[in-house]
Structure 1
Amino acid sequence: MPEHITHAFQPIYDTESRVLILGTMPSPKSRENGFYYGHPRNRFWKVLADVLSQPLPETNEAKTCFLHRNHIALWDVLASCEIHRADDSSIRNPVPNDLLPILAAAPIRTIFTTGTKAAALYKRYCYPQTRIPAVPLPSTSPANCAVSYEQLKSAYGAVEETLR
């Protein structure tokens, strides 16, 4: 049964953020852990650390510092929606986040989306406002076992290339 979820995390960015990475909506494990990509088997933080050749940030504070140090802004496409657990395909009644404050405050060069649903929602709800096309990346979710770790590293290498 879907439940109505309102995004509880603030975006992470500063005036030096050059890349914006957008997920769909925090999973139940992420909400429980109080931070983005909080499921212990989600590969997001490991992939980013590997492509940026840096140690894996372990705590929420270390992850925030990692993002700032690497000029990465992080948020989600949706402010609220109805969703069944972490199943993006079950999303109904999506309400997008307003990305314009981030884009006004930071020199964002590229927007990336994590997963096909985030890409589709961004294109439908955010692109008309931002007019910045997003680069879709594969989901790092443990449910996305069709994409190997090496394939993720290859795809997320685009983040590192943008930051050069």
Structure 2
Amino acid sequence: MTRLPSSTEPVTGLPPVVPERCTLLVLGSLPGRVSLAASRYYGHPRNHFWALMEGVIGEPLVALDYPERLARLGARGVGLWDVIGSARRGSSLDDDIREATVNPLAPLVERLPYLRAVGCNGALSARGAMRALAGHDLPIVALPSSSPAYTLPLAAKAEAWQALRAFILPPG
């Protein structure tokens, strides 16, 4: 795969999407080009995130419109954000991220009284969350990346992502 040189202009991530009763915060690294262009978390149609979360919450997500997906996650106590707030990036691959600015994760976490865990979508997210949230008494669950570029079979990803079930609100 040919990698593009780092862009000259930094890209800025998306704002956090956090329900009132957030029990689980799922952190990515930084949205890719397709997601940023659509202003949607995990907006690339080949990204496995929505299918993985569908398995975690046991409810349909993939077939829903984006606002409905967010509402369904919110009803189950799941919030979304990213470790990186902005960076220079030549492609959508995490390996191409340069000059990253970290999002203020600790202040957000401190404002979430129901938060029980942080799930990290990929290795870069996990490393960033562990640094940013060091000293917080909160489980950080490192997960295989939902990106199709991470070639672990979907079934293996889904099995690992089941660890998040313990931290979501029950249906209804």
Specify if TM > 0.5. yes
The residue aligned with 1:53 is 58
Which residue identity lines up with residue 120 of structure 1 in the other structure?
R
SS for the counterpart of 2:94 is: strand
Which segments of 5 or more consecutive residues in structure 1 lack a partner in the other structure? none
SS for the counterpart of 2:142 is: strand
With 132-141 and 63-72 compared, the bigger mean Cα shift is at 132-141
Which residue identity lines up with residue 115 of structure 2 in the other structure?
I
Q: Which whole-Å CA distance do the structure 2 matches of 1:130 and 1:90 have between them?
A: 29
Which residue identity lines up with residue 30 of structure 1 in the other structure?
S
CA contact (8 A) 1:127 1:133 kept: no
Which segments of 5 or more consecutive residues in structure 2 lack a partner in the other structure? none
Q: Which whole-Å CA distance do the structure 2 matches of 1:103 and 1:5 have between them?
A: 24
Count of residues paired in the alignment: 161
Q: Which whole-Å CA distance do the structure 2 matches of 1:26 and 1:86 have between them?
A: 7
Which residue identity lines up with residue 55 of structure 2 in the other structure?
D
SS for the counterpart of 1:135 is: strand
Q: Which whole-Å CA distance do the structure 2 matches of 1:102 and 1:89 have between them?
A: 26
TM-score normalised over the length of structure 2: 0.85
Which residue identity lines up with residue 161 of structure 1 in the other structure?
A
Q: Which whole-Å CA distance do the structure 1 matches of 2:55 and 2:141 have between them?
A: 20
CA contact (8 A) 1:116 1:139 kept: yes
2:82 matches 1:85: no
Q: Which whole-Å CA distance do the structure 1 matches of 2:130 and 2:100 have between them?
A: 13
TM-score normalised over the length of structure 1: 0.89
Query: Which of 15, 19, 28 is the equivalent residue of 2:24?
Result: 19
The residue aligned with 2:159 is 154
SS for the counterpart of 1:14 is: coil
Aligned-pair identity in percent equals 28
CA contact (8 A) 1:20 1:72 kept: yes
Query: Which of 48, 62, 73 is the equivalent residue of 2:68?
Result: 62
Quote how far apart the aligned CAs of 1:130 are: 4.6
RMSD: 1.8
Q: Which whole-Å CA distance do the structure 1 matches of 2:74 and 2:149 have between them?
A: 28
Quote how far apart the aligned CAs of 1:94 are: 1.4
Q: Which whole-Å CA distance do the structure 1 matches of 2:55 and 2:139 have between them?
A: 26
Q: Which has the higher strand share?
A: 1
Quote how far apart the aligned CAs of 1:129 are: 6.9
